[in-house]
Amino acid sequence: MYVGKGKRAKTTKSFGPEFLTYLLENEPQTYKEAMTSPEGPLWKEAINAEVESIMQNHTWELVDLPPGNKPLGYKWIFKKKMKADGSIDKYKARLVVKGYKQKEGLDYFDTYSPVTRITSIRMLIAIAALHNLEIHQMDVKTAFLNGDLDEEIYMEQPEGFIVPGQEKKVCKLVKSLYGLKQAPKQWHLKFDNALMSNGFKINECDKCVYTKSTQDGFVIICLYVDDMLIIGSNIGIIKSTKKMLTKNFDMKDLGVADVILGIKISRTSDGLVLSQSHYIEKILAKFSKYDTSPIRTPYDPSLNLVKNIGHGVSQLEYARIIGSLMYLTNCTRPDIAYSVNRLSRYTSNPGKDHWKAIVRVLRYLRFTKNVGLHYTRYPAVLEGYSDANWISDTKDSNSTSGYVFTIGGAAISWRSTKQTVIARSTMESEFIALDKAGEEAEWLRNFLEDIPCWPKPVPAICIHCDSQSTIARAQNNMYNGKSRHIRRRHNTVKQLLSSGIITIDYIKSRDNLADPFTKGLNGEQVYRSSRGMGLKPMSNESS
């Protein structure tokens, strides 16, 4: 559920993580509950701001309900938006229509809408650090209200705002509203048209990234539903872009970017840092009943996890922790990717050993909660690392693949995953991992083709691999193996090599940054690989 921005309410002071968890878990569930709560005046202000935006946008008109039609219901959603330091930024209210009652082919047709990849955000921030670019942030107030509707949709009048004397009338939606199945698509079409009519081009790999080059410089817009980063070569072109956006939509200028999707963006003397220390504190506070004393490694290499055939232990709680850790892993913490990937396989029926392992991850986060991805001005090259661990589990014949790509000294893309086919040797498992890394390298290279400040043509991306037999096999034009799944991957990798998209280079296992994505490591190896991926403690100069 996407929650809008409304008017800024009073800012509260910063509280401890336990009290913040209490606040977030005690948000009102109904309009009546919000109005009668101790924070009622703040919620009332947020509700009025929401309705004011709806009315200004002419989202609906009151009409008599046509025979044979049934109006959709609605629900008020209340959320508290947090700042990077943990304090409450504002109270938000969103009127959401019950779109789950819509019928396909009658009041909606297509519902697809793209969302930018988190990899794209990290990539653009890394590029901004390399070239010392300006990064600003804006969001669209009530973004989904901008989409135009072609279908006839009716909704009940919202509680608290029923027009006197017209109680029996319903709202005929003229523009989209949050909750409608087609709302994201209609909003994205509206935004696309606005930017393309102002000279922007859409990135072929990520439809939510827009670029524009002029004589005065270039600007890049990265859109995530209604939050956007504006990256420009100078402040002048950023200001003109903001002016254009404000002319087309009801925008809120957030100035220099500091938080995007719950990720804190800090600028240092030599680059930019992405961190989620506040989110980690919230996780630790939420699950504080478990042992969270610090430990130096996220996974015990000697631990051999197997499927639990007995009674499950706190399955719902286990799933909640996994969900929290997955968001952290996908955003800024590649060092726990293997642990989370491995532990998520046992979510349906966790046992005592699985709980012991997941608590270890929480303990590791306690030890490393203040680290972040540090992007610097060197090296200005995109390179990757690929690795695999062949049948590490005696109960499971599937190997584990891992890869990581870095720019400016820090990771921008990574993955740890269980292979879907059974490899018959170490070479085959490494080849499967190399094929996945090559697929990601091709996407990253094509993404860079549409970035104005990146040198053209984009050079081949070097992928480091610690298996000489895999490299030899990849560079061999003929494959005489009998396994169809390996033959197909051999053809794919060979094509990437011959077309100049990737190159493959040998690296020692101890220097392979993809090693922690395939197995548990000791403390020294975890420290060295984390530093290699740009994970370093936040310094006092970060701001």
Domains by residue range for the chain, with CATH:
17-261 (no CATH), 277-368 (no CATH), 378-537 (3.30.420.10)
Residue 288 confidence (pLDDT): 87
Residue 39 predicted with pLDDT over 60: yes
Looking at residues 343-365, what average pLDDT do you find? 95
Q: Would you give the distance in Å from CA 281 to the centre of its chain?
A: 19
Convert the pLDDT of each residue in 238-264 to its tens digit.
Answer: 999 999 999 999 899 999 999 999 999
What proportion of the chain, given as a percentage, has pLDDT over 70?
Answer: 92
Q: Contact at 8 Å (CB) between 36 and 44? A: no
Residue 479 confidence (pLDDT): 60
Convert the pLDDT of each residue in 429-441 to its tens digit.
Answer: 999 999 999 999 9
What proportion of the chain, given as a percentage, has pLDDT over 90?
Answer: 61
Residue 2 confidence (pLDDT): 34
pTM for this entry? 0.87
Q: Contact at 8 Å (CB) between 403 and 414? A: yes
DSSP state of 249: S
Better pLDDT: 19 or 212: 212
Convert the pLDDT of each residue in 297-330 to its tens digit.
Answer: 999 988 888 888 889 899 999 999 999 999 999 9
Looking at residues 194-217, what average pLDDT do you find? 95
Confidence of residue 482 (pLDDT cuts 50, 70, 90): low
* Three-state SS at 471: helix
Convert the pLDDT of each residue in 518-538 to its tens digit.
Answer: 999 999 999 999 999 999 998
Convert the pLDDT of each residue in 120-130 to its tens digit.
Answer: 999 999 999 99
Q: Contact at 8 Å (CB) between 106 and 99? A: no
Residue 102 confidence (pLDDT): 86
Residue 392 confidence (pLDDT): 60
Cα–Cα distance between 146 and 272 in angstroms, integer?
33
Looking at residues 161-169, what average pLDDT do you find? 88
Mean pLDDT across the chain, nearest whole number? 88
Q: Residue 270: exposed, middle, or buried by beta-carbon count in 10 A (0-12, 13-18, 19+)?
A: middle
Q: Say which amino acid occupies 477.
A: N
Confidence of residue 84 (pLDDT cuts 50, 70, 90): low
| Helix and strand totals (H; E) in the chain | 14, 21
Residue 353 confidence (pLDDT): 93
Convert the pLDDT of each residue in 383-408 to its tens digit.
Answer: 999 999 986 655 667 889 999 999 99
Which range is least confidently modeled, 117-126, 179-188, 394-403, 487-496?
Answer: 394-403
Confidence of residue 57 (pLDDT cuts 50, 70, 90): confident
Q: Contact at 8 Å (CB) between 294 and 365? A: no
